Amino acid sequence: MLLQLAGRGPLYRQIYDAFKAAILDRSLRAGEKLPSTRDLSLQYQCSRNTIVNAYEQLLCEGYLESVTGKGTFVSDLKQNTLTKRSKSSPPSPSNKLTQQAQFIEQQATNYLSNYRHTPKYNFKYGDVKLDHKSLHHWQRLLKKYTYGFEQNYDDVKGNAALRTAIADHLRIHRGVYCDPEHIIITNGSQQALNLIARCFLSHGDLVIAEDPCYLGSTLAFQSTGATIKRLSVDAEGLNIREYKGKQPKLIYLTPSHQYPTGVVMSAKRRLDVIDWANQHDCLIIEDDYDSEFRYEGKPISSIHNLDNYQRTLYIGTFSKSLYPALRIGYIVIPEYLANALTAWKWNEDRHCGSFVQPALAAFIDQGHYARHIKRMRNIYAEKRLHLKCCLEKYLGDQQTHSPSPAGLHLLIWLTNLKNKQLDKFLSLSLENDLGLYPVNHLYEKPPENIGLVMGYTPLSPEQIEQGVIRLKRILKQLKN
């Protein structure tokens, strides 16, 4: 018997693979008797045990069957059990996925396919890293907590020391007063949004969100079958008093640094939202995703701090202040909702990975986190100013940018470039090794001109300048 062997890997595995392939494509038919292990070992000049091992694996998986006193035969594999692999086509997933799952797949595919590589001049938002001082302390703490780490299930809400450290940090720096028992640790802010959506929304429920809005939030809400009602953002943020429609279940806001416009919601608008939510019996989600980085003026009190009605769920993350791969976020929950969200967290994944949580608690308690924020705030402020200067120097009136006193990006508008030119613009950007990220898809109705979220954190001053020069070159190409 001649078998087509692969020529690499253990010989028994090559023989196993060759027999399996021949059985699946019907080169060996059901009921056909196979040579004895002794005969095959002589043919391939190998140990008999090699053939025995291959046969035993095939027998174990049901491709062969052994009949005492008669030999080894090919099993009768029905056509509807194992089809010919070379000719079969996979079934369509469309009738297996829910409508929400199909929508999420489409949106995620569009997002993930934008950049298959990392451009040299990558103005990606939120790409932050630890500086060398913070990295030294972080690595030391990780090494310390490697020994004797907890191997059993942790508290579903997360490590107690970390929740206490977060509660202390929020009280001092954000005016958020909470009991550590009312904090749930999550795998980043996206899981926090998904938890809230699944706990409080049903099909047909309504969520009020900003326009434009962070895509991850709308996907979380829409995955439950909820409807999103967008309210436009002006210089003071969202104006809830403009809404006159159906009763909402949730209001989603990014008040400290609206994404992507950079607008800081005024104190009056914050108080309006709180009163309105209480009057209409709905909850507020306050996503305070990068509030640590404010460069001008004093921080405005969080909605959570102003809310005497306990309707605010406060979301924060360390992915935007330490590094994205950390994947640690949290929700501060009103006491009367704590049990419900804790139960949903338990149902979803029991608890987040516990290995890194005590290290992060120590990093905060020992003051390293606060010092890291202070250092990075100064560095990012310089980069932000440099980007503004480069935009004005090289692009002039071909752009306008948001005043944005906080955050990790600038929103710029290309005044001479229309939305219909977006595909060509992005293609030329990649050709120039330039990573640029449009905001048009974040609006309910795409704006006429192309807008860009330009993150400055991952780039050196020289890279920022060279990137803007390349952007100028692209605009000149499109103009011609």
Q: What's the pLDDT tens digit per position in 280-303? A: 999 999 999 887 888 877 777 899
Pairwise CA distance, residues 374 & 292, whole Å: 9
For residue 161, the domain's CATH number is 3.40.640.10
The verdict on residue 188 lying in a domain is yes
Per-residue pLDDT reduced to its tens digit, 320-361: 999 999 999 999 999 999 999 999 999 888 878 778 999 999
Structural domain harbouring 55: 11-74
pLDDT number for residue 157 = 94
Average pLDDT along the chain? 89
pTM here is 0.80
Domain count, the chain: 3
Measured between its terminal Cα atoms, the distance across the chain in Å is: 69
The verdict on residue 80 lying in a domain is no
Per-residue pLDDT reduced to its tens digit, 415-455: 999 999 999 999 999 899 999 999 999 999 999 999 999 99
Domain boundary among 74, 92, 125: 74
Strand partners, 409: 455
If residue 233 lies in a helix (H) or strand (E), which one and from where to where?
strand 227-234
SS3 454: strand
Domain boundary among 354, 383, 400: 354
Domain boundary among 354, 382, 398: 354
405 near 295, Cβ under 8 Å? yes
Closest of 263, 255, 256, 298 to residue 404, by C-alpha: 263
Per-residue pLDDT reduced to its tens digit, 381-391: 999 999 999 99
In this predicted structure, the answer to whether residue 27 has a pLDDT above a threshold of 70 is: yes
220 and 330, same domain (yes or no): yes
For residue 443, the domain's CATH number is 3.90.1150.10
Question: What's the average model confidence in pLDDT over 200-225?
Answer: 93
336 and 377, same domain (yes or no): no
208 and 246, same domain (yes or no): yes
Question: Residues 283-310, buried b or exposed e (16+ Cβ, 10 A)?
Answer: bbbbbbbbbbbbeeeeebbbbbbbbeee
CA 278 to chain centre: 32
Q: In sequence order, which residues have a C-beta less than 8 Å from that of residue 341 and are 6 or more positions away?
A: 184, 195, 196, 199, 331, 333
pLDDT number for residue 390 = 97
